[in-house]
Amino acid sequence: MSHPEFGEIIRLVRQKFPRTLISVTTNGHRLDYRMAGFLKEMAPLEINLSLNSASMEGRAALMGDDRCTAEQTIHGVKLLHSYQIPFHGSIVAMPHLVGWEDMAGTIRYLAENGALTIRAFMAGYSQKASPELRFDPSGMYRQLASFRAEMAGKISCPLLLEPPGISDLTPVVAGVIKGSKAAGAGIRRGDLVCKANDLVPRSRVEAWHCLQQPGPIHALINRQGSLMPVHWQNERGEKSGVVMEYDFDMDRMEAMYRIIGSGSGTVLLLSSELGIDIVRAVLQFMNFPDRQIRIQPVKNRLFGGSIGAAGLLTVEDLFAAYQEYHAGQGRPHLIMVPREAFDYQGYDLMGRPFWELEERTGIQVTVG
């Protein structure tokens, strides 16, 4: 919304795609009555609102807002609600800077004003961050997970933590959007999806996709040990309302399975530090012999600090992880690297291609 031509850009998109849902991500600056009215005219449209704090003090500390900007942004949440503009809320969790009550108040404020879902993102810091921005990542994550578990039962919309910190593929429902078809059918947070239209889902991602299909949905759920059938019908283009944490796409798993199974030597799978538990769960599901595949965590050396996501890894980070593996366990037959580290042309964020790893190691490299 801060772009001077934002309105014209959205109008052009709407003219080109009259019925396509437009998704706008914003920090809420400039969200006044005029903007809310314009967004309503551009329906179907949804907002992803990164609010971070709903208090004057919190916004000054985190966003550098002056009083006028803070008041307008906070009130903008109420405008989205009153103009019936669907929105998802998010915060970057900074309790070490604004306190836990500020976080709780912001989440309550978003929920009370109609947020469909709320995501709390754990903050990250690089090796160059000033001391006041640093914290113990593992300790902070445990506190955030406990905080999320407590808050999730006190608000009327799904609350998720990012990264989700999951280590299995069990298709458990993280939440259900209020007023949705799934909510009307009786799905609840914590339900285990055992079947969806006769398919036994292998992951949360697969279960979610099954429950979004247009037409009749016949699901079997396990709620605290009791099996319950639930039914509803999705109209074309309508979402069921089921919210799940992202674990792993089974199409991706099947592609990895074909690549790993096509060779006879050892495959070295390089994984981000944040994704390694899920990768291990996927490999356990594949059930390859232990001698055929090895996993090596990749430390982010470019940013350092608490940064552990695959999307911020570089060729140099991956090469360093390979060297560490090679020094202790020898030479693999194939190296598989995470696709999140590269763009659609195969280049990392430093502009270096993944096939540089082949040149430097003399080993075939594939993106998986």
pLDDT in tens, 278-320: 999 999 998 887 678 999 999 999 999 999 999 999 999 999 9
* Largest Cα–Cα separation, the chain: 65
pLDDT at res. 264: 80
The answer to whether the beta carbons of residues 216 and 329 sit under 8 Å apart is no
**Which ranges of 83-229 would DSSP assign to H, the alpha helix?**
95-98, 100-112, 137-152, 181-185, 204-212
Name the residue type at position 310: A
pLDDT at res. 290: 67
pLDDT at res. 2: 82
Which of 60, 45, 2 is CA-nearest to residue 27?
2
Q: Distance (Å, rounded) from C-alpha 62 to C-alpha 65?
A: 8
Structure tokens that stand for 220 in this block: 């079997």
Structure tokens that stand for 124 in this block: 């990250």
| Structural domains for the chain | 6-162 (3.20.20.70), 175-243 (2.30.42.10), 250-367 (3.40.50)
pLDDT at res. 1: 83
* 3-class DSSP state of 4: coil
In terms of residues, how long is the chain?
A: 368
pLDDT at res. 287: 86
Residue stretches of the chain with pLDDT short of 70? 290
pLDDT at res. 99: 96
H/E stretch holding 91 reads: strand 87-93
pLDDT at res. 289: 75
pLDDT at res. 288: 80
Angstrom distances, CA of residue 201 to CA of 33, 50, 169, 250 = 45, 32, 9, 9
Structure tokens that stand for 40 in this block: 């309503």
